[in-house]
A and B are shown apart, each in its own frame.
Chain A
Amino acid sequence: GNSVTQMEGPVTLSEEAFLTINCTYTATGYPSLFWYVQYPGEGLQLLLKATKADDKGSNKGFEATYRKETTSFHLEKGSVQVSDSAVYFCALRKRDRGSTLGRLYFGRGTQLTVWP
């Protein structure tokens, strides 16, 4: 079946530190991959996405590369800020054959806290 495994948190970093949150997936075919971010008390916002192998998604200094050979989509940022403190979710989208609907499958989320 389809599933996403992401690194367990919480992750605690000092401002300007380097961030990596690991994400691996299991899926047949060629899913699209996403990172969503959730700030306290809010819904999810799309952070970045990649739709095919070797694509790199990037936004707000965050990057992730779709690696089909390792079935991974690790999130990275070179220098985190206090405002990056949030929960980060890795997700894959898989469309069933003959369907126009792409279901999302989420990882469990990783809590990031950045201290000044």
Chain B
Amino acid sequence: DGGITQSPKYLFRKEGQNVTLSCEQNLNHDAMYWYRQDPGQGLRLIYYSQIVNDFQKGDIAEGYSVSREKKESFPLTVTSAQKNPTAFYLCASSILLQPTGGRDIQYFGAGTRLSVL
């Protein structure tokens, strides 16, 4: 089945530690995204990537880093510089917009819940 797989489902971070969240998709999508969800806040965009070896900062990139070495994979590292990392992290992917638009729906993984020990 095609889809987006995020792992782990739950993750705990110690003080000063970097942790990496995995996101893999087998939908052959070019674009991938990372969002952070806090209670009552909706989703906020952290990073996004349109193509392998290229990515752009979203609205809240500070304290996070990403890589896009393969089309299928877009891991997110939460660094020690992120002082409030406790949140639900969602990865998404989509095709790029076509000239006529309409088909670039974003599909989401099941999420990773990160907590601080």
Contacts and interface: CB of A to CB of B under 8 A. Distances in A.
Interface stretch (A14-22, A61-69, A73-81, A95-103): A95-103
A102 B109 contact: no
30 contacts: A4-B42, A32-B102, A34-B105, A36-B108, A41-B111, A42-B111, A43-B90, A43-B109, A44-B43, A44-B90, A44-B108, A45-B108, A46-B105, A49-B105, A51-B102, A93-B104, A95-B101, A99-B97, A100-B50, A100-B97, A102-B94, A102-B97, A102-B101, A103-B45, A103-B48, A104-B43, A104-B45, A106-B42, A107-B42, A108-B41
Secondary structure call for the B interface: strand
A4 B42 CA distance: 10
Nearest to A46: B105
A91 to B, nearest CB: 8
B61 to A, nearest CB: 14
Interface extent on A, as a size class?
20 to 34
A59 B102 CA distance: 17
A5 to B, nearest CB: 10
B33 to A, nearest CB: 8
A35 interface: no
Interface of B: 4, 6, 31, 33, 40-45, 48, 50, 90, 92, 94, 96-97, 101-102, 104-111
A25 interface: no
A43 B42 contact: no
Contacts of B50: 100-101
